[in-house]
Amino acid sequence: MRHILPLLFIIIVTSVKGQEILRLDTEIEPHKPTFEFEGYSEFRDLMEWETFSTSNLTAQLNNNYEAINLTDGNSGTAWIEGKQDYGIDESFSFIFKNVYGINKAEISSITVLNGYSKSDKTWKENSRVKAFSVYLNNKQLFNLFLSDTINIQYLDLKKLNREIEVNANDTLKFKIKEIFAGDRFKDTAITEIELGRSY
């Protein structure tokens, strides 16, 4: 199994009207068509989760666009929100489950593949997320700004001393606040998101 590792990242922390903003910056390794995220399996060794969304695009041909696609390790699938516009305020959530006898765990990194990265064509035609608001149990933690790139983006929360401690039955929500418009479709997509541990 081959992992794509982040080669370079820069973390910027600022604030707007008292609200902390975390920025994801992109690695320099070119996009690969298929991959498995580093850190994905390690976190799931501690705690499982169920994935939900407020909406998703209706399945077309053999493609579905449900929230479960966010953590399937496949760059050919994506979650795409299902609203008629750009999906502002649509969200997806992780509800954590105690299946290994562990009641709490720390998320110390977030990795994102923005847009519909099945191909350069699908990535350009569909809209991408520019900013998320991130909530734990409906309490806002921070705003997360993404770059408009097909490359993997990585945020090391541990380096910021901002690890997210989650307990069984907690809900971590990512709500769309701003988008990068697609060339053809308003549909806003995220291909993958990894909740992981850094070392």
Q: What is the pLDDT of residues 46-93, one digit of tens each?
A: 788 999 999 999 999 889 999 999 999 899 999 999 999 999 999 999
Bridge-based pairing state of the strands 91-97 and 48-53: antiparallel
Tokens linked to 104 = 């709490």
Total domains in the fold of the chain: 1
Q: In whole angstroms, what separates CA 130 from the centre of its chain?
A: 12
Q: Output the CA angle 40-105-114, nearest 5 degrees.
A: 35
Q: Output the CA angle 40-51-79, nearest 5 degrees.
A: 85
CA gap 135, 162 in Å, rounded? 13
Q: Give the per-residue pLDDT at 16.
A: 44
Q: Give the per-residue pLDDT at 23.
A: 74
Cβ-count burial 28-49 (b if 16+ within 10 Å, e if not): eeebeeebbbbbbeebbebbbb
pTM of the model: 0.84
Q: Give the per-residue pLDDT at 100.
A: 82
Which residue is listed with tokens 């050919």? 76
Tokens linked to 8 = 């370079």
What band does 184 get if pLDDT is binned at 50, 70 and 90?
very high
pLDDT in tens, 35-46: 444 434 467 777
Q: What is the DSSP letter of 198?
A: -
Q: Which domain holds residue 35?
A: 3-196
Residues linked to residue 12 through DSSP beta bridges, in sequence order? 23
Q: What is the DSSP letter of 71?
A: G
CA gap 164, 139 in Å, rounded? 12
Please report, to the nearest 10 degrees, the dihedral formed by the alpha carbons of residues 180, 37, 94, 43 taken in order: -150
What band does 156 get if pLDDT is binned at 50, 70 and 90?
confident
Which segments of the chain are extended strands (E)? 3-4, 12-16, 19-23, 25-26, 36-37, 48-53, 79-80, 91-97, 104-107, 109-114, 127-136, 139-145, 153-156, 164-167, 171-180, 188-196
Which CATH number belongs to the domain containing residue 108 in this structure? 2.60.120.260
Average pLDDT estimate for 95-112: 87
